[in-house]
Structure 1
Amino acid sequence: MSISDLQLFQALKSKMQWHQSRQGVLAENVANADTPGYAGKDLKAFSFQDVMAQRSVGLQTSRTSTSHLVGSMMRETGNVERDETTGFEITPDGNSVVLEEQMMKVTENQMDYQTVASLYQKGLGLIRTALSRNG
């Protein structure tokens, strides 16, 4: 099992891909700020629950006694057809493009991307530390 197969890292990679796609949509909005009749666009909000639901199917455990803990097990399925494209749903913004608002969104998107990238890097560092002390 590769480190990148862990659900945490898969979710963080999906979030970073979403931020990259959003940056492209926001850049298009900025580029068309002076285009007559252009309506600004934005990506549908990212949801970790949606990403995890696409990647795996949950199994509910059976409780045979009230003293048993309730839990669920996530497993990867090979027979579920998945759309492997990295595209995200683009939704109309509903407003004309305001350059200042778009630049604020670009900045916010960049900061959020850096935060997710930092979490990814810290997670890898924790795994390296755990593996190095294991020997």
Structure 2
Amino acid sequence: MSVGDMPLIGMLKTRMHWHQSRQKLLAENVSNADTPGFKPRDLRAPVFSPAGSPLVSGVRLEQTEAGHIAPQPMRGGEDPRDARRFETTPSGNAVNLEDEMLKASQNQQDYALAASLYQKSLQMLRTAVGKRG
């Protein structure tokens, strides 16, 4: 079993990739704060099964007959729910810079936590196999 196959390591890697994607999306929201009609977007957090693999939702679709419609992939985990917006400018822009900056700050802290846990997990594995450092 390789280190990447371990459930904890896999979940931490998935979580860090999600935080990277979310940071990019939040930066796009901030950069389009003055774009008329722009609606901010966010990503849905990954949900993990008890086995450690990420689930998009609790329900999985299966195509049991050839005539059934095949399941369609989701749009990259984008959260389709509209966030509660307290203000919308006359141009239709719904970006609230304070909200976006708070989300970006929290996202950065959560990424740092996941990276720290990842590093500590690898250090623990090195110690378990007898390598120090």
Same fold (TM over 0.5): yes
> 2:6 aligns to what?
6
CA displacement at 1:49 relative to structure 2 = 2.7
> 1:34 aligns to what?
34
> 2:96 aligns to what?
98
Task: Please say which of residues 39-48 and 112-121 is displaced more in the overlay.
Answer: 39-48
CA displacement at 1:88 relative to structure 2 = 2.8
> 1:115 aligns to what?
113
2: CA distance, partners of 1:112 / 1:40: 21
Aligned AA (1:100): E
Confirm or deny: 8 A CA contact 1:29 1:41 kept in the other structure: yes
The unaligned stretches of length 5 or more in structure 2 are 56-75, 86-93
> 1:43 aligns to what?
43
> 1:52 aligns to what?
53
Aligned AA (2:78): E
2: CA distance, partners of 1:126 / 1:108: 27
Confirm or deny: 8 A CA contact 1:30 1:99 kept in the other structure: yes
CA displacement at 1:132 relative to structure 2 = 0.5
CA displacement at 1:119 relative to structure 2 = 0.4
Higher strand share: 1
> 1:89 aligns to what?
78
Q: CA RMSD in A?
A: 2.4
**Paired positions, count:** 103
Higher helix share: 1
- Give the ranges of 4+ consecutive aligned residues of structure 1 lying more than 6 Å apart after TM superposition: none
Selected match of 1:129 from 119, 127, 130: 127
2:49 match: secondary structure: helix
1:11 match: secondary structure: helix
User: Normalising to structure 2: TM-score of the pair?
Assistant: 0.68
The unaligned stretches of length 5 or more in structure 1 are 55-86
Confirm or deny: 8 A CA contact 1:39 1:92 kept in the other structure: no
2:35 match: secondary structure: coil
Summarize the Cα distance change of 1:36–1:92 in structure 2 as closer, same or farther, 3 Å threshold: farther
2: CA distance, partners of 1:3 / 1:127: 9
Aligned AA (1:112): D
